[in-house]
Amino acid sequence: MKKQVYAGIDLGGTKILALILDENGTVLKKTEAATHAQEGADAVIGRMIELIREGLDESYQLASIGVATAGTLNSGEGVVAYASNLGWTNVPLGTKLREAFGVPVNLENDANAAAYGEWAAGAGRGTKDCVYVTVSTGIGAGIVSGGKLVRGRDSSAGELGHITIDWKGPKCLCGNVGCLETYASGTAIGRRANQMAADLPDQAALLIEKAGGEAITSRHVAEAAAEGDELSVRILEEAGQALGAGMVSIIHAMNPEVVIIGGGASSIGAPLLEPMHRYIADHGIGTMARGVKFVSPLLGKEAGAIGAALLVRE
Amino acid sequence: MKKQVYAGIDLGGTKILALILDENGTVLKKTEAATHAQEGADAVIGRMIELIREGLDESYQLASIGVATAGTLNSGEGVVAYASNLGWTNVPLGTKLREAFGVPVNLENDANAAAYGEWAAGAGRGTKDCVYVTVSTGIGAGIVSGGKLVRGRDSSAGELGHITIDWKGPKCLCGNVGCLETYASGTAIGRRANQMAADLPDQAALLIEKAGGEAITSRHVAEAAAEGDELSVRILEEAGQALGAGMVSIIHAMNPEVVIIGGGASSIGAPLLEPMHRYIADHGIGTMARGVKFVSPLLGKEAGAIGAALLVRE
């Protein structure tokens, strides 16, 4: 008898990652290719089909395909309504993959798929209520409640980078004001550092040196903070407190057992995360904030594809 | 053959409401009694048992009991860990009811049970993703995602009155700062009115007259606003915008299809809700904020008991 396997694909703007998993979520095969979105949707879908075929061998019986992708999805109909990173409008991706393999296909928002993957097979395994937050250029997130992915009406739930921490705060690109992301993302940390360097060039000497004439980035701030640079420590302290303020809202709304923090934030580490933890301890409702476990993700770049594969069975 | 029925109880600090429902959620029988919490837990549980017995007749077969109650619950073990309104600590309510009737018993947070009731049998019926917010003395809420109640680790999820809209804002009783509730609850509206009356007695003449020497309440503000009082309109405008800011965060986090707004806010109406709607239209991410239906609750004070009864079957 053939072994039942599940395909999970992470369709990104630059790369396609395809995994073949067994029923326990163990990765059996991994294939990847450049997306080359400029060649058009049919070419990209052709490459996805090829990657899945490469991953299958004669002893495998493909049971389903899950795809994690950015953009606005119409999951029910298997359509990518709009994906700016691919230049796609109304691409019937689900139908095409279904026709090629004759198995059920599910499309999922990439941040949500990654959250589900980490919950089901990574750092959130064994829990029921889990929030996954990635702090990098922006702040993305996904929520699992009672063992189910929180999808919302348009599969767009979990935009936790765009919850407000200051309703009188500065405008965010999303149209809202005072979004968590405008205070605590890598972009926000870099922007703040460049402001400070313009205002207080003496105090920012190490940052300016590290940037070598280019714009200061959050990586420079993290490096400088690790070397004890006072201004950088202060910038990360502020961003960490803002992250804490966002986390308090998330904890009060979702009452999670585990919060997984990924992205650049986990590599910055203590200078960002300690102020966050202090803020949560000082501001969270005790019964809800105490005992929340903060952990790092375990699945790396495969989380989205693993989550997409496992979500088909939900 | 006897008819399968489901008991739902709303255990409040002053009143116990008991309903008997059929499998469609239709209320067959309604009984109530004063709680008299000062007589102790055994007396209160005895009254709950009596109320259920009164509601049952010979043609009914009781299938389960659901209880909606305030406080910290250990739902799995059927224990009310702490309920300040009842003076209860570690009361094994679930066990006692199970012993009395020999059926499964489920305890649920009262705000969450009410949200589930409105979703399953009231204003949210037929949807999958629904948030229920009550704006009265405080701001309470409950969330249904994908047709499941969002409970969280300790059945405490949905504390949306305590999400932050200003992380540099004033302290809330909960320990956090700048909570939605400190800007947009009935209490907040009254507090703001009293402040304004102290600062600008001329402009607050109508409010001061309505209060007749007592503290101004949100009810006075609503009445005065309905009569065109400028200061009152301005106070409700501010509170409505704050409510909008909270709603934007909730919409970005949960991507709901329907938001049910209950409590005093629905009776204040336009002077509070129009600024809220304007704020959401101006600040929400378009694809998520557009098309969210805002509706009033339908079940009144029975929502909690109905939700508790129906949740046992989840």
Give residue B33's domain range. 3-118+301-311
B84 — pLDDT class (breaks 50, 70, 90) = confident
- A20 and A92 inside one domain: yes
Consecutive 10-residue runs of chain A (314 residues): their mean pLDDT? 95 96 93 96 97 95 96 86 91 97 95 96 97 94 97 93 97 95 96 97 96 96 97 98 98 98 88 97 95 96 96 84
Separate counts of helices (H) and strands (E) for chain A: 12, 13
Task: Give dist(CA B268, CA B24) in Å, integer.
Answer: 33
Please list every residue in chain A whose beta carbon sits closer than 8 Å to the beta carbon of residue B129: 151-153, 157
Q: Locate B56 and state its tokens.
A: 């049952």
Angle at A200 between CA A196 and CA A205, to 5 degrees: 90
- A101 and A224 inside one domain: no
Partner A contacted by B288 (CB < 8 A):
yes
The total number of structural domains in chain A stands at 2
Provide the residue type at B108 as one letter. E
- A137 and A281 inside one domain: yes
- B41 and B146 inside one domain: no
Q: Is the ipTM of this complex over 0.90?
A: yes
Q: Which residue of A has its CA nearest to B160?
A: A253
- A30 and A99 inside one domain: yes
Provide the residue type at B29 as one letter. K
- A149 and A292 inside one domain: yes
B92-107 confidence digits (pLDDT tens): 999 999 999 999 999 9
Beta-carbon contacts of residue A306 (< 8 Å; ≥ 6 apart): A8, A19, A21, A25, A27, A117, A120, A121, A122, A299
Helix axes A230-254, B230-254, angle to 10 degrees: 90
Nearest to A306 by CA among A106, A141, A68: A68
Please list every residue in chain B whose beta carbon sits closer than 8 Å to the beta carbon of residue A163: 163, 248-249, 252-253
Contact in structure between A306 and A299 (CB atoms under 8 Å): yes
Nearest to B264 by CA among B308, B223, B205: B223
- A110 and A189 inside one domain: no
- A111 and A189 inside one domain: no
- B83 and B135 inside one domain: no
Measured between CB atoms, which of B149, B159, B285 is closest to A162?
A: B285
The domain spanning residue B71 has which CATH number?
A: 3.30.420.40
Please list every residue in chain B whose beta carbon sits closer than 8 Å to the beta carbon of residue A252: 159-160, 162-163, 176
Provide the residue type at B18 as one letter. A
Q: What are phi and psi of B162, to 5 degrees?
A: -115, 30
The predicted structure's pLDDT at residue A259:
98
A120-178 confidence digits (pLDDT tens): 999 999 999 999 999 998 999 999 999 999 999 988 999 999 999 999 999 999 999 99
The average pLDDT across B208-230 equals: 96
- B32 and B81 inside one domain: yes
Angle at B237 between CA B231 and CA B240, to 5 degrees: 145
Measured between CB atoms, which of B163, B254, B287 is closest to A150?
A: B254
- A51 and A176 inside one domain: no
- A52 and A37 inside one domain: yes
